Amino acid sequence: MPGDSFAAAAADAEKRLASAADLESVAAIERDLLGRRSKLTDAKSRIGDLDPAERADAGRRLNAVRDRAEAAVAAARERLAASARSARYAAERLDLTERLPQTAPLRRGHLHPVTQARDRLEDVFVGMGYTVAEGPEVESAWYNFEALNIPDWHPARGSFDTIFVNLGEPEEVMLRSHTSPVQIRVMDQRKPPIYIVAPGRTFRADTADATHLPAFNQIEGLAIDRNITMGDLAGTIDEFVRAFFGREVKSRLRPSYFPFTEPSAEFDISRPDGSWLELGGCGMVHPNVLRNCGIDPEQWQGFAFGFGIDRLAVMRHEIDDIREFVNNDVRFLSQF
Ligand code: DAH
């Protein structure tokens, strides 16, 4: 029985298995070595023809060769499976590195120009003794209109292009169309004297264009004290305008109408070429508004004002189109 030549064939197959590149070649080698038509299988089937004295020994040697060949095939399969696994892990690996090496230096961001304007406004007014108040962005008709002396039949309601919220009675709940409702909320909660500013987001059903945004920012001011006059209002506006725009900039009041103030005015700021630019509205708080908040108009008076923060930033930076503020183009924003 030529068992030794089998052993030599198995050793050769072992070498081929160790360098087999894929499962198909392993299967081919296995077929050659152990398959139904292999020399090993053929030899086994002919063991019966041998001398009884030789049979046992030949059988043992053939089995040893077979065991060795099977182990080599299994080892080759395991080697290929392991390398397939590590290839998959490498492909699925997540790169959690936060920072690329020097090729892309980090750029530091900064506050949005409208936020910067809001912060500066707060600083100017806090410097004048005011505190900062806030109110909700979703309001009821009472705070947004009624308490501000705008009853439901009042034509001024139409001019606000209010965005209503589908909640409760029709036209009862809305996105606030101005920051004036914060006046009411503050007077509800605090006793005079009151000096507050209230910056915040406001909303109107306006199509965005170069000078309008449907969601924009206003700042409201309210001062309630004894013996407050229109002169205090004019002086406060003048002081704020100079602190914000520079000492050379002047302000003026023009008669106007708002339901929540009497008398009412609009205020303008001067431009280097001598022209005037409208900034916002203001006036002496209407006695009805004070009464709606349980404040006696015989004892307390006050003034209020309100204007758009986005528009202020547009003026300050001489920007052509207010929509630039919401386009989020870093090339634009990084200029400020
Ligand atoms: N709320 C007004 C608006 O959005 C602006 C305004 C005008 C506010 C006069 C005031 C004021 O406080 O006194 O059009």
Q: Report pLDDT digits (tens) over 302-311.
A: 999 999 999 9
Tell me how far the alpha carbon of residue 146 lies from the centroid of ligand 1, in angstroms: 14
Say if CB 143 and CB 183 are below 8 A apart.
no
What is the CA angle 143-149-154, rounded to 5?
105
Ligand 1 lined by 311 (C-beta under 6 Å): no
**pLDDT tops 70 at residue 94:** yes
Tell me how far the alpha carbon of residue 259 lies from the centroid of ligand 1, in angstroms: 9
Q: What is the mean pLDDT of residues 173-182?
A: 98
The pLDDT of residue 10: 78
Ligand 1 lined by 178 (C-beta under 6 Å): yes
Q: Report pLDDT digits (tens) over 104-124.
A: 677 788 999 999 999 999 999
**pLDDT tops 60 at residue 2:** no
Ligand 1 lined by 305 (C-beta under 6 Å): yes
For the chain, what is the mean pLDDT? 92
Tell me how far the alpha carbon of residue 311 lies from the centroid of ligand 1, in angstroms: 14
CB atoms within 10 A of CB 329: 9
Q: Report pLDDT digits (tens) over 41-68.
A: 888 888 888 888 888 888 888 888 888 8
Q: Report pLDDT digits (tens) over 314-324.
A: 988 999 999 99
Atom of ligand 1 nearest to the CA of 178: 4
pLDDT exceeding 90 applies to what percent of the chain?
71
Q: Report pLDDT digits (tens) over 199-244.
A: 999 999 999 999 999 999 999 999 999 999 999 999 999 999 999 9
pTM above 0.75, yes or no: no
Residue 25 CB contacts under 8 Å (≥ 6 apart), including other chains: 16
Say if CB 197 and CB 221 are below 8 A apart.
yes
Atom of ligand 1 nearest to the CA of 179: 1
What is the CA angle 63-67-72, rounded to 5?
150
pLDDT exceeding 70 applies to what percent of the chain?
97
Distance (Å, whole) CA 201 – CA 309: 10
Q: Which of 161, 177, 305 to mutate to test the pocket of ligand 1 (most atoms within 8 A of CB)?
A: 305
Ligand 1 lined by 144 (C-beta under 6 Å): no
The pLDDT of residue 56: 86
**pLDDT tops 60 at residue 162:** yes
Residue nearest to atom 7 of ligand 1 (CA): 281
The pLDDT of residue 100: 67
1 pLDDT band, cuts 50/70/90, is very low
Q: Which of 240, 260, 290 to mutate to test the pocket of ligand 1 (most atoms within 8 A of CB)?
A: 260
Q: What is the mean pLDDT of residues 20-24?
A: 90
The pLDDT of residue 48: 84
Distance (Å, whole) CA 57 – CA 59: 5
Atom of ligand 1 nearest to the CA of 218: 4
Ligand 1 lined by 304 (C-beta under 6 Å): yes
147 pLDDT band, cuts 50/70/90, is very high
Q: Which of 178, 264, 285 to mutate to test the pocket of ligand 1 (most atoms within 8 A of CB)?
A: 178
The pLDDT of residue 268: 94
**pLDDT tops 90 at residue 257:** yes
CB atoms within 10 A of CB 268: 19
Tell me how far the alpha carbon of residue 39 lies from the centroid of ligand 1, in angstroms: 102
The pLDDT of residue 4: 62
42, two tokens: 């053929």
**pLDDT tops 60 at residue 71:** yes
Say if CB 198 and CB 219 are below 8 A apart.
yes
Residue nearest to atom 12 of ligand 1 (CA): 305
